[in-house]
Structure 1
């Protein structure tokens, strides 16, 4: 690692995802969101990251039995689901140094080796990159669905630690947060002993899922990012999130990724409610230029 220079070498992309977008009977919609993803891909290509730190949720697969708040992935593959191919993650060597540094900064970080990561990470990886298996990746899985959930403000603090730990890395770093915004997927509420829904429980959950989608709440978060309001996520309470559905807990990935990049004002935001996907679909991105002191 060498000393940083003054240039725009940190950037972020935050975006919603929904596995429903991959289903044939729900694919012919979400055009505004899909166009925004194409803008994000162009932004990433123009930025040319040397490392992509991807913070993503898990849906009770990797974190089914043990649920640390943050898990750094040293090696693994994508879980083949929702049309996502099985891909070996191209984990960048800087990941090991980052994970060690985070532990010394008192971040309670677990690590995973030889693990499968589900669509929380895999879907966004294949959306944003034409050659997802070649992306120089630092994957971090965030517990945003299983008991116990940590405060959103902590996601921001951990993101700041991630950014700080990479401050001396002399290369372009892209921080990606994926999940959210308001939505209530067919999963049980976080609680000890929670289990997956039966088909009947799943159908009942889906029947009322749109009641949780709150465009005003989603747009307010995007406006906060456009204003560079670093506290727009950390001010959220769990009650705020619960009213917008269990999937809204995934905004923790947004909070961490944006904070890691220095919380710069988003230069692009887009938002669309896609009812067949039962989700408020948002996209935001921007860059940050470090000072000579980092």
Structure 2
């Protein structure tokens, strides 16, 4: 077994927004470095920790985390639609191992995923079915949120399972960092919005386009300083990155959902995917972060980060 990690922000606006050219170039360079890192590692299996944005998981049943035995991408914001290549037997073994290690994880034999899980696969591999992938949903938008230590425990359990595989495993964390896009909150939602949050599966093309256009319009207003959403918080983002780089992940246990929302926005909870991914990597021992990009990008409504990491000892590429 050998492990490597890529954590990255995603944004539905990547193909719809126009940040300054130097910002776009910097993001493209960070993606290119991550691709080179992954290409050198040449993974045989991917475990992807990712959130959802009310495209696959809804309030009719909202688990804190869920392992997919099969998965289908819904194709929102122009991302790929279709099935992932999920090794179902390995996914089943992973779920049993996680449960045996006192983390009560849900499972799905028909998981639907959106751009949050798809974008990293497209950016790193050029498609969603080029490498065997086990998707692990981590709730990052829908209250109530589990404590951060439970996210660490999830990652640790996943990592201890991966340690027993004869595979080169790339662990992905997708989401964050600070951002507050116009995702409805149940407490303040209209009746129409609540219907979507409860079960908005398989919307019409017109309904999906309208929902996506609202996000695109909000991003333009936010970049112009006019949108009524929380500002990005680079200091909060940098502190999180510093802790992840340090390896002392237990420091994150003090983070509370309430304060995360105040400090970094309603969707900052997506950083749970990073915590799970780094915790999985840490299960193999000390690690080194080999690259770390960060930029607050209003046009993407995101504090945008891309990191790569690998264990301090052991294989780092093809066996």
Q: TM-score range by the shorter chain?
A: 0.7 to 0.9
Aligned to 2:51: 57
* Displacement of 1:98: 0.5
* Displacement of 1:220: 1.5
The structure 2 residue matched to 1:177, chosen from 170, 173, 179, is: 173
Q: Which piece of structure 1 moves more, 185-194 or 54-63?
A: 185-194
Query: Within 5 Å, which residues of 2 pair with 1:1-294?
Result: 9-23=2-16, 29-64=23-58, 65-92=60-87, 93-189=89-185, 191=187, 195=194, 207-209=227-229, 211-243=230-262, 244-262=264-282, 264-288=287-311
* Displacement of 1:166: 2.0
Deviations 1:202-254 (A, max 9, x none): 77896133x43011111121122222232343332223311210110001000
Q: 1:190 to 1:105 in 2, by over 3 A?
A: farther
State the TM-score, normalized to the length of structure 2.
Answer: 0.81
Are the aligned partners of 1:98 and 1:165 in contact in 2 as well (CA < 8 Å)? Answer: yes
Structure 1: distance between partners of 2:302 and 2:50: 17
SS at structure 1 position matched to 2:107:
strand
Q: Which runs of 5+ in 1 are unaligned?
A: none
Q: 1:223 to 1:25 in 2, by over 3 A?
A: closer
- More helix by proportion, 1 or 2? 2
Are the aligned partners of 1:221 and 1:232 in contact in 2 as well (CA < 8 Å)? Answer: no
Structure 1: distance between partners of 2:84 and 2:35: 19
Structure 1: distance between partners of 2:78 and 2:242: 33
* Displacement of 1:266: 1.3
SS at structure 1 position matched to 2:122:
helix
* Displacement of 1:26: 6.0
State the TM-score, normalized to the length of structure 1.
Answer: 0.87
- Aligned-residue RMSD, C-alpha: 2.6
Structure 2: distance between partners of 1:57 and 1:39: 24
Structure 2: distance between partners of 1:290 and 1:98: 24
Q: Which runs of 5+ in 2 are unaligned?
A: 198-209, 315-319
Structure 2: distance between partners of 1:84 and 1:222: 27
Structure 1: distance between partners of 2:143 and 2:255: 18
